[in-house]
Structure 1
Amino acid sequence: MTSVYESLLSEYPDKGVVGKPEIRDSETEIIEKLKILIQHFRNAKSSGKPIFVLIGAGVSTGSKLPDFRGKHGVWTLQAEGKHAEGVDFQFARPGVSHKCILALHNAGFIKTIITQNVDGLDRKVGIPVEDLIEVHGNLFLEVCQSCFSEYVRDDIVMSVGLKPTGRSCEGNKKTGRSCRGKLRDATLDWDTEISTNHLDRIKKAWKETSHFLCIGTSLEIIPMGSLPIEAKKRGIKTTTINYQETAHEKKVETAIHADVKLILYSLCHALGIDVELGNDLPDEVPVPLKI
């Protein structure tokens, strides 16, 4: 639940810019921008250099989890003395956007996915752990401090900051026996540094990609917010999909201001990718745009 996550975090006044006005591209503008993005996806597939993706809270709004800096975001409303509405994290289900990202991954168009979300929905939808960088952590995950075995829980691990949870390792990856190591939470607090393993994986992904795609993130918090600058230094173009203007927007090739799930579903449709939506969606399926 958003309020539970907030209660676990330390006090931190500088949360970046909140409540920026939303921008709504016309359908004509969206289609023209989508044509550029579709070409990047086709080039990625033909060149064998898949799209590198950064996910933000805007991907999970379809799952009824509020974002942070949007019009109805947690921190936007907090600044107004209000509380954001949303479902309990434990009952949130992957939405259309998550399913589209999985479909694009399975079809080979994208590979490495950085998620800034701690809701666990990226794992839950089926994105392989080896291609997923949970850069800020996962509220449902515990990790052994000795053998690094991971345990995905049904309930939120009521701790952040990579602190001991009071539980012990249940089974070493290699032997299947407990290594007697102590478990810790896997979610960053404001003052917790991103793991060097995550940063190394990001460096590796730059060498294997042809385009950078930022989905549902305002890019306000560094270091992830500065990735479009890093992409430009490496000669890699960036596309953003976000209702609000993102940080460094003038440095990206294409900024799409539209509903995330509409863009992703239309992208899949234009590329001929079937999206397995299932029967348990928390949001409505959009009508794909004709490109």
Structure 2
Amino acid sequence: MIAVLLAGGCAALPKAEKVKAFGAAVDSSAGILSDALSTNRVIAVRTSQERQAVAYIQGGRVRLDEADVDLGAIISAPEQVAMLDALQAYGKALELAADQGVIDELEKASVRLGEAAGDMVVAASPVASPVAGPALKVAGRLLGFSLGNAYAAEITSVIRARDPAVQKVTSLLVNDLEGIVSLIDIQVLNFDIKRQESLIAVRADRRVDRLALYKEHMVARADLDTIKVKQAALSNFKTILEKMAATHHALATNQVDTAKLIADFVALSSDMRDVLKAVNASTKR
């Protein structure tokens, strides 16, 4: 019976490189979304700074704090940040488990993900089924089965057990981020307008030479580019999260098109990361 379980279980185990690639993409994309979500507060503060700067340049009252109209646009989203952080930790742990066989961190991240999904009680070491999971782990070690496959069985059991949590968390985030993204779109537009007003106010002083104007323009452009690239990343939240959920489910159920789904998800995550790197590099020149 044990031999049959081992043979059947091993046939259903995803390859380590697939799990590693998927985990890295989850880590990267969830981290990018979490960082982009903080853009809401950044834009509010920067818009207020520009508003006060223009007033100062034009001889108005000096203020060194944020205007109420800008502070009122700041969103508190601790639950959404916690869910994204849990997904990021889970992805990082999947990558580490697949690459180095480190299971403990995966189990901890798995528990955290379950809690983020709202599960009241989360098992520290989930298994794929009440019979096959323990049989794979115990028999694999007692019979001298390869350590790699024993670890793979444990990783697979976690993926299968946590698939409902991944589906729930990604679905909640898709619903919750819709309104936040719409607000950030409006904020970016307002910041763009305020940044332009600053440039116009500086240019109005004829004592400012062309080189200074050029430098001011490039700084303003860098400011806006940095914010807009995060806005663009966050605007892709639905595609990112839906691909993440579909790929995880494919891994959990050993679907035939898993490799393609992983490749598509990894490509999307890589594209976002590369764009962010390029913009960050250009603003540091």
Class of the TM-score when normalised by the shorter of the 2 chains? under 0.3
TM-score, length of structure 2 as denominator length: 0.27
TM-score, length of structure 1 as denominator length: 0.26
Larger Rg: 2
Structure with greater helix share of residues: 2
Structure with greater strand share of residues: 1
Q: Which has the higher contact order (CA 8 A, sep 6+)?
A: 2
